[in-house]
Structure 1
Amino acid sequence: MFTDNDIERLRSGRHGDPFAVLGRHEDTSGPQPRVWLRVWLPGAQAVGVIDMASGQPAGVLAPLAAEGFFQGQFASLSADYRLQVQWHGGAQSVVDDPYRFPLLLGQTDVWLLAEGTHLRPFEVLGAVPRTVLGVAGTAFAVWAPNAMRVSVVGDFNHWNGAAHPMRLRAECGVWELFLPGVGPGARYKFELLSRDGHLLPQKADPYARSAELRPATASVVAPMPPLQAPAAPRKLANALDAPVSIYEVHLGSWKRRPEEGNRWLTWDELAEQLLPYAQDMGFTHLELLPISEHPFDGSWGYQPVGLYAPTARFDAPGEGPGGFDRFVARAHAMGLGIIVDWVPAHFPSDAHGLAQFDGTHLYEHADPREGYHQDWNTLIYNFGRAEVRNFLVGNALYWLERHNVDGLRVDAVASMLYRDYSRKHGEWVPNEFGGRENLEAISFLKRLNEVVGVERPQGITIAEESTAFPAVSRPVYAGGLGFHYKWNMGWMHDTLHYFGRDPLYRKYHHGEVTFSLVYAFNENFVLPLSHDEVVHGKGSILARMPGDRWQQFANLRSYYGFMFGHPGKKLLFMGCEFGQQREWNHEASLDWHLLDDPLHRGVQSLVRDLNRLYATTPALHQRDFTGDGFEWLDHHDAEHSVLSFVRRDANGDFIVVVCNFTPTVHHGWRLGVPAPGEYREVLNTDAAAYGGSNVGTPLGAATAEPVPWHGREHSVQLTLPPLATVFLKLSA
C-alpha cells in the first residue's frame, strides 16, 4: 500500500526504499490480478500512461492529495511504459519513469564489490552512460552502506534531493538508480542522509570521470574512456634495462599565457609545445605532478578530491573531457612515455569529498591517530577496509588501462609504511604485533603492484620512499613490495649537500658523493632532482651551487654529468634543465627568457647532450641495477675531490666517467683504465658550447700506456677540466 507515511517520507527526502512504493507493482491479493502504478512528479498537473507494448494509452493516473503524487490501477500494464505529463504552466512532455527499470548491478558485480576484489569497480560505480531496456541514460551507483537515504541531484532535477532517491543493494552497500535522458555533460552530486537522519553536505562522486573546475565542485557525467590496448614499444621503453630519463612537470606553471590573463595552456597546447620540447631535449618520459581533480591550486594536485577525473584546468573552454587522452596519444606517437603522480596516501577533508562520506568514517580511519595526517591536514585512507583498497587499486588500473599512461609514481609511500610517520610518542597506534609498520598499507601496496603486474604488465609503478624499508622494488613473491622503481632520496640529499659546499671543503665530505654506491644496487633506483628540492625556501638547484656566477654554472654542469654517469634512472624537474635561477612558483611560468643568456642556454644544451649520450650508450643504462655494470677506478682521492669509474653494458662495452669537483685544472692526470687503446672524450661538461672554459685533454683523446695505475695494467694521462665531468670511450 501507498501510505501517507510513504508520501511524507518521499516528499521530505527520507524514504530509504523508493522502489518499494514507486513504479509498477503487481497485486495478486485479489480474485483478479491487477497492476498498481505510482509516480512522483513534482510540478506535474496531470499524468497519463502509454503502454509501449501496444503503443496505446493505458489510462490516466489519479492525483493524490499530496501534490506531485499520482497513482492508478490497471488490469494489465507492461513493464515498458511511458508517462505523458502535463506540467503546471501548460507544457507537455513524454518521460520515462526511473522507477520502472530493473536492478543495475549484476550478481557477480555485487559479489565482487562486497568482497572488495572487483578489479574494475569504475565500470559499474559512479555515473556510467548506458542504455537500459532500449532507453539511453546514465546509471548512477555509489557506495554508502551506512546512509539512511541517498539521492542523485543535479541540473536535471534542480538539485532537489527528494526528486530521485536511489535503491540500496544491501548485499554490497551500494545505492543505484538509472536516470533516463541524462547524458554526458550533466552536472550531478549525491545527497545523503546519515543513519541518524542528519542531512550531509552534497557529495561529489568518488568515481566521477569528470568534474567542474574549482571553485565549483560538482561531478560531471562523462563517457567511459575506451580500453587502450597495450603497445609493445611502450613495454620495451619502460623496461629495467631501457634508458629512462624523466622530465618532471607541473603543467600549470611550465608555461602560461601572460597576455591572456596568465592562463594555463590547454591539453592541446601542451601537446603542441611541451611534447616537442621534451622530445628535442632527449627525455624519454614525462612525469606529471598529480592531474586528478583537486580544489586547491596550492596543493599542486597532491590533495585530490576527484581521483578518477583528469583535472578540468587544462580543458579548452566548452570542450569537456578528452584532451588528456589526446595528449597521451600524441606523446606515445612521439616516443615519449607518460607517468602520472598518484596519491593513495591521503585525501583532503573538503566537505564535498570523501570525508565522512555517508556520515561515518567510511574511507578514513575514525581514530585521528590513524586517520589524520598532521603534516598536511589531510585524512588517511583505511587500508584495512576491502572496499577502500578496491577503490584505490581500481583507480590505478583506470589510469593505466583507460588513459593509457605508462606508469604511476606513488606519492608519500614512507608515510604509508609506518604508523609513527612524523608522529610523537603517544600520537600513533601500534600494529597488532606492537610494531610501527602499517601492515594494512603494506598489504595494499603489494596487492596494487601484483594487480598492475598481471593486468597491465607493460605499466610501471615508482615509489617515492625516503626510508630504508627493505625490498621496495623487489617482486612480491620474493618478499618485496613489488614496485618497479624507487626514488633514491638518499642520493639526492647527500649529493645536494655535497655540491652546496665550497669546493675548498669538499675533501672533508668526500663520503657524501660516494656513499650512494654502497647501496646503489639494493633497489631499482631513480635519481631524482625533483620539485621538492626547489620549493619552501630551498631555492633553485643552481642557486644552491657555491662560488661566483661562472662557478655556480660549472658546479651545476658537473653535477648533472655525475648524475648521468651514476647508476640509476634519471629525473629532472622542469626548469632545472636550463638552470632556473629563482625558486619554483606554481602560479607563474618558468623563466624562459633566461635562455637569452649563453650560460643558461649552455646548461640546456648540456642536458640535451647528456640525454642523447645516455640513451645511445647501453653502458649508461643497461645495467643500472646490477653491480657488474659499475666499477670504481678511484674513489679514494678526497684530497683532490676527483672520482673516476666505469659503466659497462651486457656485451662488456664500457664508458669511463671522470669527475673533478674543484676549480683546479689538473694537467697530466694519470688514470688507470680497463683496456689498452685510445680513449676519446665523448662529452665534457666544461666545453665552451656549454658555457665552460673549454679545458680538456689535448685533441680530446689519450692513448693508454702500459703504465700500471689504480690497480690496472694500463693508464692514460688526461687534462682534467675544473668543476667538470668527462665521459671517455675506447675507440673501436
Structure 2
Amino acid sequence: MLEPSQIRALLEARHGDPFAALGLHADDSGRLWLRALLPGARAVGVVEAAGGRAVVSLAEREPGFFEASIPRRRKRFDYRLAVQWQDGASGEYADAYAYGPLLAEQDLALLQAGRHPRPYELLGAHAQDGGVRFAVWAPNARRVSVVGSFNGWDGRRHPMRLRHEAGVWEIFVPHAALGDLYKYEIVGADGELLPLKADPYARAAQLRPETASIVAALPAIRSLPADRAEANARRAAISIYEVHAASWRRADGGFPSWDELAASLPAYAAELGFTHLQLLPISEHPFDGSWGYQTLGLYAPSSRFGPPEGFARFVDACHAAGLGLLLDWVPAHFPADPHGLARFDGTALYEYADPREGFHRDWNTLIPNFGRDEVRQYLAGNALYWIERWRVDGLRVDAVASMLYRDYSRPAGEWIPNVQGGRENLEAIALLRRTNELVGEQAPGAITVAEESTSFPGVSAPTSAGGLGFHYKWNMGWMNDTLRYMREDPIHRRWHHDKLTFGLVYAFSENFVLPLSHDEVVHGKGSLLGKMPGDDWQRYANLRAYYGFMWGHPGKKLLFMGQEFAQVSEWNHDTQLPWDLLDDPRHAGVQRLVKDLNRLYREQPALHRLDCEAAGFEWRVADDAEQSVLAWLRKDGQGGQVLVISNFTPVPRSGYRIPVPAGVKSWHEVLNTDSAHYGGSNVGNLDAPLRAVDGTITLNLPPLATLFLLPVAGDGECA
C-alpha cells in the first residue's frame, strides 16, 4: 500500500513523480496494486478492457484516492476504471497512468538542442486513437498538470510526467477528444501556483475574452501548387492587396467567417488584378485593437473567424482565384497577459529576463529570448507550420528592425551590447537566417518578406552570401520620401524633386516591395486621399498620378484595402470599409485605375520582370525639377520596354519633348491616369502615334498625371 505521505502529496498536487505512484504497480513480492486519483468519485472499480468483466473494487483510502491489490494476477493487463461520480454520473475510462513514456528519446534530444524543424509535431495537444497526447516545455516547473473540460479543471487529476532531459512534460489522457478545452496548471520552482497557462503550441483557442486552448487536428502537410511557386518568383508580377480580415466587409457589425470571406474577398482582389492577398496577423490574440500584432497563440488561427478548418477553405479559395496568400507573422514580441508566454514556468522562459533586452518600450510587450535554442525553434517551426500545414504562399515578417538592433527605441545606457560590443542582436539575426533557410529547404516556392525600415545590409540576400535570406524587403524609404513629396503643394514640389529620384540610387540594393500599407492610414495620419493637396479635383488627380508613378516604378507593389477606391477617412478597424463610396464616380474611377494598372503591370514583362535589377530601369528625364516632370524606361531584358512619364503639377504641358531609345520609331499611349474613364480631364495623346524625331517624341502632358507608352507594333523593337 502507498505511504500516507505520498497519498497526501498526490491529493495536494505536489507529488514529484505521479507515474511512479498511480496506475498499476508490483510490490516487492510481485503482487499487483492499482491506484487511482479521482477527486469527485464515489466508487471506483476495475474491469477488463476486453469483455468488461469486473476484477476488483478499489478502496477509498482518502477522499479521491482509491487503491487495491489485484487478486490472482501477477502479470500486467489492459483494464478500465469504472467510476461512479458523486453527482450521479458514471463511466468507464482508460487510465492515463497505464501508459509509458510517449515521446521518443531522439525527438527529445532534438527539442532540447533546438534543432527539431517541426516542434509542433511533438509539443501541444495531439488527438490519437482513444485520447489526446499533451506535451509542454516547462523545464523549471516543479509540477505541471493538464486541466480542462475532460477533468473538471482539477489539477490533481492529470499531473504530467517530466522528461528531465528536455524539460518536457507529457501525458496521454484517454478520454480527452477533439474540441475539448484545456490549459496547463503549473507550479514554479519556488512552489508558486501560476495562473493557468494556454498552450504555446495550441492550434485553436477560445474567442476572447475566454483564453482556453482547444484540442484541434493537425492539418496535413500540403505543398504549394506548382503555379503558385512560379507566381512568387522574383521575376513575376507581384501586386499585393493588404487586408485586415475583420474589417474588410462586416455588414452586420460582427466578424465575418472564413467561409464568408472566401465567398467574396479572393474574387474581388482577383477582379482588380492583384496577384496576392496579404492578411494582417491572424494568429490568436487577446485584444482586437492590436490588429493581431500582439499575438499569444502563434499556432492558432484566430477564433474570431470561426474554426481553423474554415481558414483552410479560405486558402484554397485564394489559390482557386489565382491569388497567392501571404500572412503577417510576428516573432518580434508578445503581450504579457498572465495566461500567455510571460514567465511561463515561473521564470523568464520565452522572454529575456533583463528588461533591457526583454521589454519592448514602444508596445509594452515582451521580447522573445532569441538566444535560447528552444525559443528560436518555437518561432522557426511556427513559420514552417503556416506555410506547409496551411499551404500559404509566404510570410511578411513584422517589425524586423526592432529585432535586428539591441538599442532599437532605447536611450543610451538602457540596452545591453552584444558579445562583440555592438548594437546588433546577433541572436535575432541567427533566428531570421535559420527561419529563412528552413522555409527554403522544406517549402521551396514559398517566400518571406521583411518589414525592415533601416539600411541593414543584405536583408534579401542569401544567407550563403552573408544576408538574412528574405526573398523581399519593404521599401520604407521609398514610401516615406514619396508621400512627403505628394503632401507638398505642387508649386513647392520643385524644391523636393529629389524625394522622387533618390529611391533609384538604392532601388536595386534589395529585392524591394513598394508598400502603401495600413501603417500609412492609421493613428491620425488620415487616408492616402487625405494626404493629397489642392482642391477637390486636384486631390483625386494627385492620387491617381501617384498610383501611376508607383506602378511604373521598379519594385513589387502593395496597397492596403480601401485605398484602391480612394477611401476618404482614416481606416477604422471596428467597422467595414465604406463601400458606398463606389457610388461616387470619382471613387469608382480610382478603382478602375487600380484595376487597369494591375492589368498593365501583369501584361507587360518590362514592368515587372526586372523589378529588382538595374538593367530594368533607365532614366529619360530625371532633372526637370522646375516643371516636376519625370520620365523613365522600364525594360524586360529581352527587348520589351515601357515609357513612363509623370507630371506632378496641375499645369498641362503641350509640346513636351522626351528623349527615347534609338530604333523605336513610334510610341502610343496605353494608360493615362488623367483619362475621363478614371475621373480626369482627358488631356492626352490618343489621336495618333507619337513619332520619334531626332531621338525625341513630343507629347501633351496632362495635369497631375502619369502616362504609360508602348512602342507601336511593327514600328520598332517590340510592341
Same fold (TM over 0.5): yes
Aligned to 2:119: 121
Q: 1:724 aligns with which of 680, 705, 713?
A: 705
Q: State the distance in 2 between where 1:67 and 1:84 align.
A: 14
CA contact (8 A) 1:51 1:77 kept: no
CA contact (8 A) 1:657 1:728 kept: yes
SS in 2 for 1:615: helix
CA contact (8 A) 1:528 1:571 kept: yes
Aligned to 1:671: 658
**Worse-superposed segment, 547-556 or 646-655:** 646-655
> Shift of the alpha carbon at 1:436?
0.4
| Mapped pair 1:559 → 2:540 | no
CA contact (8 A) 1:248 1:289 kept: yes
**Worse-superposed segment, 46-55 or 536-545:** 46-55
Q: State the distance in 2 between where 1:66 and 1:308 align.
A: 39
**Worse-superposed segment, 718-727 or 86-95:** 86-95
Q: 1:274 aligns with which of 253, 265, 271?
A: 265
Q: State the distance in 2 between where 1:627 and 1:601 align.
A: 35
Give the AA of the match of 1:692. Answer: G
SS in 1 for 2:246: helix
Give the AA of the match of 2:633. Answer: V
Give the AA of the match of 2:100. Answer: P
> Shift of the alpha carbon at 1:63?
2.2
Give the 5 Å matches for 1:300-379.
300-315=291-306, 320-379=307-366
1:277-332 deviations in Å (ceiling 9; x for gaps): 101010000000000000100000000011000001111xxxx3311000000110
Aligned to 1:710: none
| Mapped pair 1:92 → 2:90 | yes
> Shift of the alpha carbon at 1:89?
5.0
Give the 5 Å matches for 1:469-508.
469-508=456-495
| Mapped pair 1:189 → 2:187 | no
Aligned to 1:424: 411
CA contact (8 A) 1:234 1:337 kept: yes
> Shift of the alpha carbon at 1:458?
1.0
| Mapped pair 1:611 → 2:598 | yes
Give the 5 Å matches for 1:139-218.
139-218=133-212
Q: State the distance in 1 between where 2:333 and 2:286 align.
A: 15
Q: State the distance in 2 between where 1:598 and 1:59 align.
A: 82
- CA gap of 1:44–1:239, structure 2 versus 1, over 3 A, is same
| Mapped pair 1:516 → 2:503 | yes
- CA gap of 1:67–1:224, structure 2 versus 1, over 3 A, is closer
Give the AA of the match of 1:279. Answer: A
| Mapped pair 1:682 → 2:670 | yes
Give the AA of the match of 2:229. Answer: K
Q: State the distance in 1 between where 2:624 and 2:692 align.
A: 21
Give the AA of the match of 1:7. Answer: I
Q: State the distance in 2 between where 1:188 and 1:84 align.
A: 24
CA contact (8 A) 1:507 1:641 kept: yes
> Shift of the alpha carbon at 1:190?
0.4
Q: State the distance in 2 between where 1:406 and 1:138 align.
A: 31
Q: State the distance in 2 between where 1:252 and 1:90 align.
A: 45
Q: State the distance in 2 between where 1:345 and 1:90 align.
A: 50
SS in 2 for 1:254: coil
Give the AA of the match of 1:689. Answer: H
Instruction: Give RMSD over aligned pairs.
Output: 1.2
**Worse-superposed segment, 335-344 or 177-186:** 177-186
CA contact (8 A) 1:64 1:71 kept: no
Give the AA of the match of 2:196. Answer: Q
Give the AA of the match of 2:43. Answer: A
Q: State the distance in 2 between where 1:93 and 1:690 align.
A: 70
Give the 5 Å matches for 1:576-587.
576-587=563-574
Q: State the distance in 2 between where 1:393 and 1:655 align.
A: 41
Aligned to 1:632: 619
SS in 2 for 1:15: coil
Aligned to 2:716: none
Q: State the distance in 2 between where 1:495 and 1:250 align.
A: 24
Q: State the distance in 2 between where 1:449 and 1:157 align.
A: 41
> Shift of the alpha carbon at 1:352?
0.3
Aligned to 1:293: 284
> Shift of the alpha carbon at 1:66?
4.0
CA contact (8 A) 2:147 2:185 kept: yes
SS in 2 for 1:358: coil
| Mapped pair 1:48 → 2:42 | no
Give the 5 Å matches for 1:98-113.
98-113=96-111
> Shift of the alpha carbon at 1:77?
4.3
- CA gap of 1:89–1:247, structure 2 versus 1, over 3 A, is closer
> Shift of the alpha carbon at 1:6?
1.5
Q: How many residues align?
A: 711
Give the AA of the match of 2:21. Answer: V
CA contact (8 A) 1:246 1:286 kept: yes
Q: State the distance in 2 between where 1:170 and 1:71 align.
A: 30
CA contact (8 A) 1:124 1:141 kept: yes
1:120-176 deviations in Å (ceiling 9; x for gaps): 111111111012xxxx11101100000000011111111111111111011110100
**Worse-superposed segment, 56-65 or 335-344:** 56-65
CA contact (8 A) 2:567 2:578 kept: yes
Aligned to 1:5: 5
Aligned to 2:242: 248
Give the AA of the match of 1:282. Answer: G
> Shift of the alpha carbon at 1:91?
4.0
Q: State the distance in 2 between where 1:205 and 1:16 align.
A: 22
Aligned to 2:717: none
Give the AA of the match of 2:231. Answer: A
> Shift of the alpha carbon at 1:700?
5.2
**Worse-superposed segment, 647-656 or 482-491:** 647-656
Q: Where does the alignment leave 5 or more consecutive residues of structure 1 unmatched?
A: 708-713
**Worse-superposed segment, 526-535 or 97-106:** 97-106
TM-score, length of structure 2 as denominator length: 0.97
CA contact (8 A) 1:202 1:352 kept: yes
Give the 5 Å matches for 1:225-240.
225-240=219-234
CA contact (8 A) 2:33 2:67 kept: no
TM-score, length of structure 1 as denominator length: 0.96
Q: State the distance in 2 between where 1:83 and 1:676 align.
A: 88
1:48-82 deviations in Å (ceiling 9; x for gaps): 22233686433222221444332324432434111
CA contact (8 A) 1:466 1:490 kept: yes
Aligned to 1:699: 687
CA contact (8 A) 2:59 2:67 kept: yes
1:76-123 deviations in Å (ceiling 9; x for gaps): 243411112233355432111110012111122111111111111111
Q: Where does the alignment leave 5 or more consecutive residues of structure 2 unmatched?
A: 714-719
Give the AA of the match of 1:37. Answer: L
Aligned to 1:711: none
| Mapped pair 1:62 → 2:50 | no
